[in-house]
Chains A and B, each alone.
Chain A
Amino acid sequence: MNTLLSVSGLSLTVGPGGREIVRDVSFEVGAGEMVGIVGESGSGKTQAARAVLGLTPPPLVRSSGSIMFEGVDLATADAATLRKLRGARIGMVFQEPMTSLNPSMPIGRQLDEGLALHRRDLTPGARKDRIIDMLARVGIADPQAALVAWPHEFSGGMRQRMMLASVMLLEPALLIADEPTTALDAVVQRDVLELMVALTRDHNTAVLMISHDLPMVARYTERMIVMQQGEVVEAGPTVDMLARPQHPYTRKLLASMPKRGLARAASSEAPLVSVKQLAIDYPGRQRLFSRTASKRALHGIDLIVHPREVVAVVGGSGSGKTTLGRTIAGLLKPSEGEILFRGRSIQKSNAGWRDYRLNCQMVFQDPYSSLDPRMSIGQLVGEGLRQIPDLSDADKRKRVDEVLEEVGLGSAYAPRYPHELSGGQRQRVAIARAIVRRPSFVIADEPVSALDVTVRAQVLALFAELQARHGFSCLFISHDLGVVEQVADRVVVMQQGRIVEEGLRDTIFDAPREAYTRQLLSAIPTLEPAGEGGVQLKWRFENGFA
């Protein structure tokens, strides 16, 4: 196998002599190979990849190392040489489909730019033909119309496909994909990735894929590189690394992948929370002289949560799971249907509502916007105790300290402020705030989605421990079936505002009935122990979902 790209000893610092973001990194990519770089936030993987093309943001400078590509050292090449290689020989796909296409330039023109620059041998007509062919190839329904359309007229998945089209039109030898599907919906992710693999195989383009999503990288790559805090900790063939991980960090990453938790007996107690025929309509937008029709976001949802049970609600974007969560939490008013808590309707009875309000709490997704930046941790967690009349101030403080200990932070954190904490720590605070009143029902809306994989595992473990100790029920909303597999007792699958399938966790995961459920399941691996302390990833439904 010829080596296409050879990075050796690369170091990047913030300004000359500043903090090292990337330290002494070396790796290779062979022609036509698929290589993945895996790491969490702060690993430096993105900057290392961008350095290949010389696209690191201004404060970063290369303090040492070489980047050999087709006989040229990209690290020291002059601007003109770099520009000739960019696009034509090395292409790059970015993460955010919303901001990676110029919003004020028609699609056709953006796709044409690179082609016009590097393929002067083609006439404008020939270029246009190629663009139309490529757009069709990536699955755009009406390529001619797309040529003059604006980026904002397309969904995220479509834009990523166009991004791929734009890059592959030039038939580069190497494609650098920086978190190409992270911002996409689970179902769409798979399609876009498969497309990327197909396109690169067609043109024998090598791929350097950067991601925090270990299973995804493991699925498609032949070799894998693991980075932590700016350094390469381990590298090698994917299958071997998974089966026999050497470095402690690699092992930690593998151990953090969600595994199926213990199955608990189905509860036979009376339901704690009952949702009957819940429906929500979003009012139409007020236009100048008319009003667009109202949209039904939830159609006749029936749901039951038993005491001490964890019910997971899964679905892609637009499934209505978040809307459902917020309605049950009391943030949205249902248009139809009712919610019963301990047998009492929370809409019709004041006592019922008060009881519910005291006993139902919520943990939100975004650790950065769910905590008031101007309040201290102690104040944030203690705010929930306002509603409890008989607690003295001293008692309140004691409870806050207690709860902070329980979530693994400790009372020393009480005077600190959110901006001083990391994402994982903030989520612990959010959990502390939710359980400070010892509620019997907690709604968790994507509580770990915004966290790094290793942190995620810790927070999930914490959650399970708290749930076991205090016995609260939980409605766990997530798009990530892997996480759900670990925590849920029962699973409810939603699509477009309706419940598609529901049942015990093991049933859903081992014997799903609906095609949509199978589609969702195909995106997560089953982990089977293999080799020395390693795993083997197996994928479900490789041959279709029927």
Chain B
Amino acid sequence: MLRFALSRIVMAIPTLLIVAVSVFVLIRLIPGDPAQLLLGDLATPASIADLRARLGLDKTWFEQFAIWFGHVLQGDLGMSITSGQSVAGLVFERFLVSAQIVLAAVLLASLVAVPAGMIAAWKQNRWPDLVLVGTATLLVSIPTFWLGLLLLLFLGLELHWLPVVGYVSIADDWKAGLLYLAMPILTLFLHEIGVLIRMARASALEVLRLDYVTHARAKGLSERTVLMNHVFRNAFGPTWTLIGLVLGNLLGGIAVVETVFTIPGLGRLLVDAIFARDYPVIQGCLLFVAAVYVLVNLVIDLFYPLFDPRVAAE
């Protein structure tokens, strides 16, 4: 088990390295002088020369990368062109906002979708299954930004239950904060339920066909016991992996939900930065999100043996 954990952790390192290289190369691919780009409108010949020296732009790409990566490892992601703030600080601050929404939505969705998927598999082709699968397929087909708009229209403008725009940090005022977060979380929650139910159902169906489930029944165990002790754990593995993927995808795709509800999150930061050509921020966001995604999947992988001990064996 220890060897398994170590090998997974070590395998993540080259991935992170290549991610860093990719981001570095991506930004360098943008036509124009990097120092000019990074300084934007604030550029003066003196500051450009200064930045060029600092970044070592006359050195080889390897050396430039080393210098840049060195800064990154110390937590220095540069300065935002538009706001002058530290990119690292900005990214982290916004990340916390987005993370609240994503984590809450995925957690709630898992709690609902996993049992629902298993029930659907158990009652395959009978009405609970058909209803659940139909609902899931519908939910998966509705784009999150449209769903958000609809919720906004209905719950916000029509019924006035929830505030329509803005954001209040939970740290400041948790009641108001929750109200503002409710709709974005609800939007993502509904979408992810669709995704997770389908996977939970599919893997439960696979497990239900296996001999050890019939064997459990042959021992005289009740259906409920069979489902909980034998089916659930073994069927959960693929869904668990999917949850990791979903978390990552939401970190990327949350930009649209943040736009609809005007939430100052990480996605919005990236999009605004793209419009403003704020390359340090673009760089920082890409690097940060990709790194978080790799780490999240690493954690997911490390817990996988809980559901399938065979994985840790070799």
Q: Taking beta carbons and an 8 Å cutoff, which residues of A are in contact with B?
A: 50, 53, 55, 57-58, 82-88, 91-92, 94-96, 99-105, 113-114, 117-118, 150, 152-153, 163, 166, 285, 287-288
Asked whether B313 lies within 8 Å of A152 as measured between CB atoms, the reply is yes
Closest to B207 in A: A102
Stretch at the interface among B65-73, B171-179, B291-299, B304-312: B304-312
CA distance A288 to B214 in the complex (A): 39
CA distance A166 to B307 in the complex (A): 23
Q: Which of A50, A53, A95, A113 contacts B216 (CB 8 A)?
A: A113
Q: Which of A58, A101, A118, A152 contacts B212 (CB 8 A)?
A: A101
Asked whether A87 lies within 8 Å of B218 as measured between CB atoms, the reply is yes
Q: Which of B3, B218, B234, B309 contacts A92 (CB 8 A)?
A: B218
Contact with A along B194-219 (1 / 0, CB 8 A): 00000000000000011110111111
A-chain residues with CB within 8 Å of residue B210 when the two chains form the complex: 99
Query: Is residue B6 within 8 Å, beta carbon to beta carbon, of the partner chain?
Result: yes
Contact with A along B209-232 (1 / 0, CB 8 A): 111101111111110000001100
Which are the 9 A-B pairs with shortest beta-carbon distances? A86-B220, A114-B219, A87-B220, A87-B219, A100-B211, A92-B218, A99-B211, A83-B220, A102-B212
B-chain residues with CB within 8 Å of residue A166 when the two chains form the complex: 219
Q: A99-B211, A104-B233 are known contacts. Are A153 and B220 too (CB-CB below 8 A)?
A: no
Q: Which of A50, A57, A118 contacts B220 (CB 8 A)?
A: A118
Closest to B8 in A: A288
Listed residue (B211, B220, B222, B313) with the most chain A CB atoms within 10 angstroms of its CB: B220
Q: Which of A50, A114, A153 contacts B313 (CB 8 A)?
A: A153
Query: Is residue B74 within 8 Å, beta carbon to beta carbon, of the partner chain?
Result: no
**Interface size class of chain B, counting residues whose CB lies under 8 Å from the partner chain:** 20 to 34
CA distance A150 to B305 in the complex (A): 12
Enumerate B229-250 residues with CB–CB distance to A below 8 Å: 229-230, 233-234
The distance from the CB of A54 to the nearest CB of chain B, in whole angstroms, is: 9
Closest to B236 in A: A104
Q: A102-B230, A152-B309, A152-B310 are known contacts. Are A113 and B221 too (CB-CB below 8 A)?
A: yes
- Mostly, the A contact residues are loop
Known A99-B211, A153-B313; 16 more pairs at CB < 8 Å: A53-B218, A83-B220, A86-B217, A86-B218, A86-B219, A99-B212, A102-B216, A104-B233, A104-B309, A113-B221, A113-B229, A114-B221, A118-B220, A152-B313, A166-B219, A288-B7
The distance from the CB of A264 to the nearest CB of chain B, in whole angstroms, is: 45
B-chain residues with CB within 8 Å of residue A58 when the two chains form the complex: 124
Query: Is residue B111 within 8 Å, beta carbon to beta carbon, of the partner chain?
Result: no
Closest to B125 in A: A58
Q: Which of B211, B217, B220, B307 contacts A104 (CB 8 A)?
A: B307
Query: Is residue B46 within 8 Å, beta carbon to beta carbon, of the partner chain?
Result: no
B-chain residues with CB within 8 Å of residue A104 when the two chains form the complex: 233-234, 306-309
Asked whether B221 lies within 8 Å of A96 as measured between CB atoms, the reply is no
Asked whether B218 lies within 8 Å of A91 as measured between CB atoms, the reply is yes
Query: Is residue B10 within 8 Å, beta carbon to beta carbon, of the partner chain?
Result: yes
B-chain residues with CB within 8 Å of residue A150 when the two chains form the complex: 309-310, 313
The distance from the CB of B5 to the nearest CB of chain A, in whole angstroms, is: 11
A-chain residues with CB within 8 Å of residue B219 when the two chains form the complex: 86-87, 113-114, 117, 166
Closest to B233 in A: A104
Q: Which of B212, B220, B222, B233 contacts A114 (CB 8 A)?
A: B220
Q: A100-B215, A114-B219 are known contacts. Are A105 and B230 too (CB-CB below 8 A)?
A: yes
B-chain residues with CB within 8 Å of residue A153 when the two chains form the complex: 313
Closest to B230 in A: A102
CA distance A91 to B10 in the complex (A): 47
A-chain residues with CB within 8 Å of residue B218 when the two chains form the complex: 53, 55, 86-87, 91-92
Q: A104-B307, A105-B229 are known contacts. Are A117 and B211 too (CB-CB below 8 A)?
A: no
CA distance A103 to B304 in the complex (A): 13
The distance from the CB of A111 to the nearest CB of chain B, in whole angstroms, is: 10
Asked whether B217 lies within 8 Å of A55 as measured between CB atoms, the reply is yes
Asked whether B214 lies within 8 Å of A103 as measured between CB atoms, the reply is no
The distance from the CB of A165 to the nearest CB of chain B, in whole angstroms, is: 13
Asked whether B234 lies within 8 Å of A103 as measured between CB atoms, the reply is yes
A-chain residues with CB within 8 Å of residue B307 when the two chains form the complex: 104
Asked whether B221 lies within 8 Å of A117 as measured between CB atoms, the reply is yes
Asked whether B222 lies within 8 Å of A83 as measured between CB atoms, the reply is yes
CA distance A86 to B209 in the complex (A): 19
CA distance A105 to B6 in the complex (A): 24
CA distance A86 to B220 in the complex (A): 5
The distance from the CB of A306 to the nearest CB of chain B, in whole angstroms, is: 43
B-chain residues with CB within 8 Å of residue A100 when the two chains form the complex: 211-212, 215
CA distance A58 to B209 in the complex (A): 10
B-chain residues with CB within 8 Å of residue A113 when the two chains form the complex: 216, 219, 221, 229
A-chain residues with CB within 8 Å of residue B234 when the two chains form the complex: 102-104
Enumerate B138-180 residues with CB–CB distance to A below 8 Å: none
Closest to B307 in A: A104
Contact with A along B269-307 (1 / 0, CB 8 A): 000000000000000000000000000000000000011
Closest to B214 in A: A55
B-chain residues with CB within 8 Å of residue A102 when the two chains form the complex: 212, 216, 230, 234
The distance from the CB of B114 to the nearest CB of chain A, in whole angstroms, is: 16
Listed residue (A99, A102, A113, A285) with the most chain B CB atoms within 10 angstroms of its CB: A102
A-chain residues with CB within 8 Å of residue B216 when the two chains form the complex: 102, 113
17 A-B pairs within 8 Å (CB atoms) are namely A55-B218, A83-B220, A86-B217, A92-B218, A94-B214, A95-B211, A100-B212, A101-B212, A102-B216, A102-B234, A103-B308, A104-B308, A113-B229, A114-B221, A117-B219, A150-B310, A163-B215
Closest to A103 in B: B310
A-chain residues with CB within 8 Å of residue B222 when the two chains form the complex: 83
Listed residue (A96, A104, A153, A166) with the most chain B CB atoms within 10 angstroms of its CB: A104
B-chain residues with CB within 8 Å of residue A57 when the two chains form the complex: 209
Q: Which of B124, B221, B229, B233 contacts A83 (CB 8 A)?
A: B221
Closest to A176 in B: B218
